[in-house]
Chain A
């Protein structure tokens, strides 16, 4: 098995799965019914994408591997999502700021992946990119509303941005697997993605009258070494409960 490719697929799948799982937590309790439905839509897209990345990963792995064994039967250190997506939902501004930072990256990444030298990756990305384009627009529009709405919403959005900003860079910082992907023509040069990402976000935050915090860079190593926040263990305890409590059953 090509372990680099496998790890790369896990990065893609795990980001989608963990963010999708987080969005499920908003179901039934969002600020209004329309938002509830939109967040469910985004969650559904992400879970569907995770499933496709894991299908490919399971084929590579062979044996008894399935998308579900990959999603449900690994321990926390084996997950390759970035820390950003596992942060708690917080209030609606926290969720939206987390999303606008991540989705802006995710859209640029998937646009690049449509050109991947790996045709399977290109095909999955081509389907996903339309969905992610919608996610990015939705979160951008809410960032503008919160930033430019009331004083309270502006303050909450600014606080959310301040709290989250030093988690933003992990996705854009190439690890060994990203270097491999770039060399193999499978994934993009993250340095290039980063400059577009910064330009896009600067524009959005400017339009929303939000100040980008000082570049509080923290070297986070979830996607490259599986060193996560304390939150991931709880996400997995909940998500994996049935598979762990009653192993080897069909559901």
Chain B
């Protein structure tokens, strides 16, 4: 009897998805759909928060007042994205404290891209241009995701991300027009970020654990490889405009396909960073843990004060 009920609920659920009706927090949903979304949205939120750290690294050294303000505003936006996304995940019945605990213990993942170091000022340009650029390609696809609160968070976030991308590209343009040293900085930053950025789209569709079910539930709308190709196609002309190169000898236009061909990602590196053995994994988590521990007494004080005064 119960089995039949669940079956019919599942059918009705899939029907709604197929008809492009958004799933809202109070709607019935399969337990795996809920878990899958919590995993994805919380990972996304953690990525925004950890993603503040590589850019923070250059904030106090930004070369002009204008750049310093723009960078601070951008990092602040990322923190704001973290907040919306934690709220979106909370609608699925998980608390921000639990999610943060999983991040700090290393149980939850965040985007591997932020486990790479920001080594020179050009990294601030290249992160905005390529990392935010890749995030936009992913996130534009997610605006149509089936879960209402996530979809709405994405729409709001995408507007700010495109601003970040323009701002990042503007730093790159300035360096590309600058001195030999500035050009060297820019090429160095592109060389270091290029492959990790292509990795942001995840494993090949054939090797992706969550892809098929996520596509059926329309949590995910376009495949990893499809998004990666889209990103490369839109980025190469921008790279050429800067008169810079990508560290990929196989990158070239394929007339027949109407797309750029590009080389194979180093998947060993990809999985290593995912598993926690990347250049900055330990450092990023240590910084988040220290901030959280150092802040404990402040959060306790605020709670105690609120209790005494209400």
Contacts and interface: CB of A to CB of B under 8 A. Distances in A.
A236 to B, nearest CB: 11
A245 to B, nearest CB: 9
Given A47-B69, A242-B121, A251-B121, A31 B83 contact: no
Interface in A23-80: 24-25, 27-37, 40-41, 43-44, 47-48, 50-51, 54, 67-68, 71-72
B268 interface: no
Contacts of A47: 65, 68-69, 72
Main secondary structure, interface of B, reads helix
A29 B63 CA distance: 22
A219 interface: no
Contacts of B72: 24, 27, 40, 43-44, 47
Main secondary structure, interface of A, reads helix
A7 interface: no
B182 A51 contact: no
Interface in B123-153: none
B67 A251 contact: yes
Interface string B294-310: 11111111111100110
B49 interface: yes
Nearest to B59: A24
A44 B291 contact: no
B60 interface: yes
A238 to B, nearest CB: 5
A68 B65 contact: yes
B278 interface: no
A145 interface: yes
A150 B294 contact: no
A24 B73 CA distance: 11
Interface string B37-63: 000000000000100110010011111
Interface string B65-100: 111110011011001101100100000000000000
B303 to A, nearest CB: 8
Given A27-B75, A32-B298, A44-B76, A72 B64 contact: yes
B56 A41 contact: no
A220 B115 CA distance: 44
B295 A92 contact: yes
Contacts of A35: 295, 298
A148 interface: yes
B90 to A, nearest CB: 13
A149 interface: yes
A93 to B, nearest CB: 8
A89 B53 CA distance: 18
Interface in B179-198: 179, 181-182
Contacts of A30: 291, 295
A150 B304 contact: yes
Contact of A25 (B60, B63, B295, B303): B60
A145 B79 contact: no
B30 interface: no
Contacts of A146: 298, 301
A71 B65 contact: yes
Contacts of A36: 52, 76, 79
B305 A148 contact: yes
A115 interface: no
A2 interface: no
Nearest to A246: B181
Interface residues of A, number: 48
- Most A-side CB within 10 Å, residue of B175, B291, B297, B309: B297
A217 interface: no
Interface string A236-251: 0011011100100111
A28 B301 contact: no
A31 B297 CA distance: 9
Interface string A102-138: 0000000000000000000000000000000000000
A99 B179 CA distance: 40
Given A149-B304, A153-B300, A31 B294 contact: yes
- Most B-side CB within 10 Å, residue of A47, A149, A156, A239: A149
A27 B305 contact: no
A72 B60 CA distance: 12
Nearest to A40: B76
Contact of B174 (A40, A50, A92, A251): A251
A44 B69 contact: yes
Contact of A153 (B52, B68, B80, B298): B298
A92 B65 contact: no
Interface of A: 17, 21, 24-25, 27-37, 40-41, 43-44, 47-48, 50-51, 54, 67-68, 71-72, 91-92, 144-146, 148-150, 152-153, 156, 238-239, 241-243, 246, 249-251
Given A29-B287, A29-B291, A239-B60, 13 more contacts: A31-B299, A33-B79, A36-B76, A40-B73, A40-B79, A145-B302, A145-B305, A150-B300, A152-B300, A246-B181, A249-B179, A251-B63, A251-B175
14 contacts: A28-B287, A29-B291, A33-B86, A37-B80, A40-B75, A44-B72, A92-B298, A144-B305, A146-B298, A148-B305, A150-B301, A239-B60, A242-B63, A251-B175
